[in-house]
Amino acid sequence: AQTWLNAFLAPSKGHPNRSNFVRGMYRIQDVTPYIHVLVNHVAEFIEIHHEFGLTAFSCSAVEKKNHMQVCLYFRNTLKDGGHENSRKSAIVEMLEHENRQLYFALNERRSQ
């Protein structure tokens, strides 16, 4: 993993206006927390918790929740706007929306 990270962070070589210029891939600032964990910690996690496998360390559920919250913010809130007397925080709007969804999902009423 460290070899891959070194290739990922390979700097540019040569002068940009010359034919022998080799452009680097990324800067150290471009290393995300996910890349850091992959390179520095996943091997240890797998060694300690080998029975769970790599999928146990997936953040896809968190990423999906974030995606849903972003979509909700841009589609269903006033983005902290609206009339001054009835203005609600976008966060409050989102929490109320989610609470309504959970309530009706758990308390389905049969149509009569």
At 45-54, the pLDDT tens digits run 889 988 988 8
Name the strand (E) or helix (H) holding 6. helix 2-8
pLDDT tens-digit map of 60-94 = 899 999 999 899 888 877 777 776 776 788 888 88
Q: Which amino acid is at 76?
A: N
Whole-number CA gyration radius for the chain: 24
- Token pair listed for 108: 């389905």
Q: How far apart are CA 77 and CA 94, in angstroms?
A: 7
Residue 112: is its pLDDT beyond 50? Answer: no
Contact 35/25 with Cβ under 8 angstroms?
no
Tally Cβ neighbours within 10 Å of residue 60.
8
